[in-house]
Chain A
Amino acid sequence: MNGRHLLPLLLAALALGGCGESADAYRAAVRTQIEQGPAAALPALTRLAEAGNPQAQFRLAMLLLEGAEGVPRDGRAALDWLSQAADKGEVGARYYLGHFAHQGFGGPRDPGRALALLSSLGGQGYAPAQFDVAHMYEQGIGTDPDPATAVQWYARAARGGFTQAAERLEKAYRAGELGLTADPAEADRWRRIAHPGSF
């Protein structure tokens, strides 16, 4: 193996080593939070968040939102950390930012942004976000009502194990809602998906 091949390997090993250190440091911060309370963990979490650890950014945001024991509530800072974590792909941050945009938390309601955030998460297979997107298409939140697209998202969420999505499809097929023709057999199929152990 020549030096040209060795260098990328060395860099990859260093990067992986760095990841391990960051994971250890995050674990230590969480341990401090569990054993000594949120206030004691705040400096370590802030350090990690500033260094770009998305898990720490999300946890810090949640602590600041909740105003946990000894941590002053700070919605603005929480949203900043959530945005940074979401940019790095942190699932919790993307999910909560989507909901906050829908509710208008920390700014005006922005259903379009909520739909975009949750659709992107749903597109990666996260079933709770898929259910929310389906609901938004059904109700016309952040978009025009689109029952056919809602059915597609409900079906994805149901196949991903989200019981309420399968139940919604069962109800829709039984009553002929969401632009579907009433079909008891299909309703029963979704009921079996919603409650696999009950048959």
Chain B
Amino acid sequence: METQAVRPRSPLSQLTLRALLALPACLALWWFLLREPLLELLFHPVRWTALELWGTRVFDLVVTGESWNLQTLLPLLQKPLTLAEIQLFPTRFTVVFPLFWGLVLATPVAPRRWLQLVGGTALVLLPAVVALVLLYAQFELGSHINHYVVVGQQPPEFWLLALPYPDWQYHAMAVGRQLALLVLPTLIPVAVWAAFNQRWLNGAMRDAAASFQARTARG
């Protein structure tokens, strides 16, 4: 009987197979256990930064169930003693964390894996996610003030007593919102993971290129 040598899996295949296990596990961990603790972790830096950035426009940020309420100092047109509140839904941004954890855990040879997980989460992802929530909050604030539809977002029924932002600024806020909601939550964890595991990634790419060339040469 002829035996065939088992060819070791390529690093990229190993990553893919491990990611198929690690990503769902991390997403489940996030969804069922860690969503709320992560939101609590984010809340204070977001609140502090919002008050620093928009001191004359923001009264406070409070948690109300699943959402955060940005209480503004901007009076309503019809009830000038009542201040406007803007509902924010920040949970979606915390998906950055399980994506990063899943990738780090799936990497076959990750230097200082636990340091990557803890340091990457605390020092890189946390500030990045705070920035994402602020980009989103800034657009919501702008939408309540400028009051016309951009990126398909309907403004509220009520009007505020505040001058609108210049058009270019409002559109820049809309771009910021789109980036914060659609692009950066997936790009950031991948970029941070790639930066931490550059050496392994280079090796995996070289291996993939060599194997592609070998297959091409064999015809």
| A126 CA to B148 CA, complexed, in Å | 12
Residues A30 and B162 in contact, CB atoms below 8 Å apart: no
Residues B73 and A27 in contact, CB atoms below 8 Å apart: yes
> B79 — nearest CB in chain A belongs to which residue?
A62
Residue of A68, A127, A197 near B147 (CB, 8 A) is: A127
Which B residues lie within 8 Å of A26 (CB)?
A: 56, 73
Judge whether B115 is part of the interface by a CB distance below 8 angstroms.
no
Chain-B contact segment, one of A91-99, A135-143, A144-152, A173-181 = A91-99
Which B residues lie within 8 Å of A27 (CB)?
A: 55, 59-60, 73
Number of A-B contacts (CB under 8 A): 63
| A30 CA to B77 CA, complexed, in Å | 17
Most A CB contacts (10 A, CB to CB) among B81, B83, B162 go to: B81
Q: Which residues of B contact A (CB under 8 A)?
A: 55-56, 59-60, 73, 75, 77, 80-81, 83, 146-149, 154-155, 159, 161-164
Judge whether A182 is part of the interface by a CB distance below 8 angstroms.
no
Question: Can you show 29 pairs from A to B with CB atoms below 8 A apart?
Answer: A19-B55, A23-B55, A27-B60, A27-B73, A30-B59, A30-B73, A58-B75, A58-B80, A59-B75, A59-B81, A62-B75, A62-B80, A63-B81, A66-B81, A68-B81, A91-B161, A91-B163, A92-B75, A92-B80, A95-B77, A95-B161, A96-B80, A125-B164, A126-B163, A127-B164, A160-B147, A161-B148, A161-B149, A197-B154
| A13 CA to B150 CA, complexed, in Å | 35
B154 CB to closest chain A CB, in angstroms? 7
Mostly helix, strand, loop or mixed at chain A's interface? Answer: helix
Residues A160 and B164 in contact, CB atoms below 8 Å apart: yes
Residues B59 and A126 in contact, CB atoms below 8 Å apart: no
Which B residues lie within 8 Å of A55 (CB)?
A: 56, 73
Q: Which residues of A contact B (CB under 8 A)?
A: 19-20, 23-24, 26-27, 30-31, 55, 58-59, 62-63, 66, 68, 91-92, 95-96, 124-128, 159-162, 196-197
Residues B83 and A30 in contact, CB atoms below 8 Å apart: yes
**Closest 9 interchain pairs by CB?**
A161-B148, A161-B147, A92-B161, A23-B55, A125-B164, A62-B80, A91-B161, A23-B56, A196-B149
Which B residues lie within 8 Å of A128 (CB)?
A: 77, 159
Residues B55 and A20 in contact, CB atoms below 8 Å apart: yes
| A23 CA to B77 CA, complexed, in Å | 21
> A59 — nearest CB in chain B belongs to which residue?
B81
B98 CB to closest chain A CB, in angstroms? 34
Which A residues lie within 8 Å of B149 (CB)?
A: 161, 196
Query: Known contacts A31-B60, A159-B148, A196-B149; can you find 13 more A-B pairs with CB under 8 A?
Result: A19-B56, A26-B73, A66-B81, A68-B81, A95-B77, A95-B161, A124-B163, A126-B163, A126-B164, A161-B146, A161-B147, A161-B155, A162-B147
| A26 CA to B154 CA, complexed, in Å | 31
Which B residues lie within 8 Å of A31 (CB)?
A: 59-60
> A92 — nearest CB in chain B belongs to which residue?
B161
| A9 CA to B19 CA, complexed, in Å | 52
Which A residues lie within 8 Å of B75 (CB)?
A: 58-59, 62, 92
> B166 — nearest CB in chain A belongs to which residue?
A125
> A54 — nearest CB in chain B belongs to which residue?
B56
A120 CB to closest chain B CB, in angstroms? 11
Which A residues lie within 8 Å of B164 (CB)?
A: 125-127, 160
Which B residues lie within 8 Å of A161 (CB)?
A: 146-149, 155
| A181 CA to B182 CA, complexed, in Å | 45
Which B residues lie within 8 Å of A96 (CB)?
A: 80
| A159 CA to B164 CA, complexed, in Å | 12
| A31 CA to B51 CA, complexed, in Å | 14
| A95 CA to B55 CA, complexed, in Å | 23
Which A residues lie within 8 Å of B83 (CB)?
A: 30
Which B residues lie within 8 Å of A91 (CB)?
A: 161-163
| A86 CA to B146 CA, complexed, in Å | 21
| A12 CA to B155 CA, complexed, in Å | 36
